[in-house]
Amino acid sequence: MKIVYSLLIASMLCACTRDNVLTRAEKKAGYALLFDGKSTQGWRGAFMNEFPKKGWVVRDGTLLGELSDGGEAADAGDIVSIKKYRNFDLSFDWKLGKLGNSGVKYLVEEKLPKATGGSQPGYEYQLIDDADFIYNDKHLPADIKTGSLYQIAAANKPDVDISTWHRSRIVFNQDQIEHYLDGKLIVSINRKSKAFMDGFQQSKFKSFPNYPLIQEGHILLQDHGHNVAFKNIKIKEL
């Protein structure tokens, strides 16, 4: 009897920790799964009608961006959610290869002028090798380290070990932006604040005047020519 009970508890624990599956509580709360661990359903290439034929693969329950000789959005290209989102709570697990660089963007508009030689503009949760990536022959500035709202708000956190899985979360609701890493709030900023506008004016996005006003857009996983893996991508519309 004790053996049967132990097996039952073990099976319940396994069920609770399965990847790419919504828990009963998540279903009740209104979360949706953006990656089922088996297919690319719900995604397509940016500015494409289909999923890229190379560079992104589903393997062992993860969505992998493969290492290439290309640069930013130069090989497989970025992928975007087919659906657009306005206010949302997004979570995802990720890890990077050595010297890796990627990001998860949101409020991405394809109707903006298409970026030349790079990824389409959006609000970006940066993913990068904090410790070893070299940027313009220097170590990374704080506002482009992992978890930062890229070039606008630096994340309040130590450098991240990119070789292990981490859980990130993005909450966007009525101009308020929050970034989390492994359960800790690391960025909190409002788009109407002076801090946001100061960051915007000093960023590469200043050439897109509509950037601070975007209300709805796609979720984008960035191809930056480096190994990156995603799983447990879940979203709740607010």
Give the CATH number, domain containing residue 54.
2.60.120.560
Residue 208 banded pLDDT, cuts 50, 70, 90: confident
Q: Does the residue 8 lie in any domain?
A: no
User: Is 4 a domain residue?
Assistant: no
Residue 135: predicted pLDDT:
74
Q: Is residue 14 part of a domain?
A: no
Q: Which structural domain, as residue segments, surrounds residue 44?
A: 31-237
Inside any domain, residue 54: yes
Residue 146 lies in a domain: yes
Helices (H), the chain: 2-16, 24-29, 194-201
Q: What is the pTM of this model?
A: 0.88
> Does residue 16 lie in a domain region?
no
- Per the structure, the count of domains in the chain is 1
Confidence of residue 91 (pLDDT cuts 50, 70, 90): very high
pLDDT digits (tens, 9 = 90+) for 19-40: 999 999 999 999 999 999 999 9
Residue 139 is assigned to a structural domain of this protein: yes
Q: How confident is the model at residue 225, as a pLDDT?
A: 66
184 inside domain: yes
Give just the sign of the alpha carbon dihedral 79, 81, 84, 87: negative
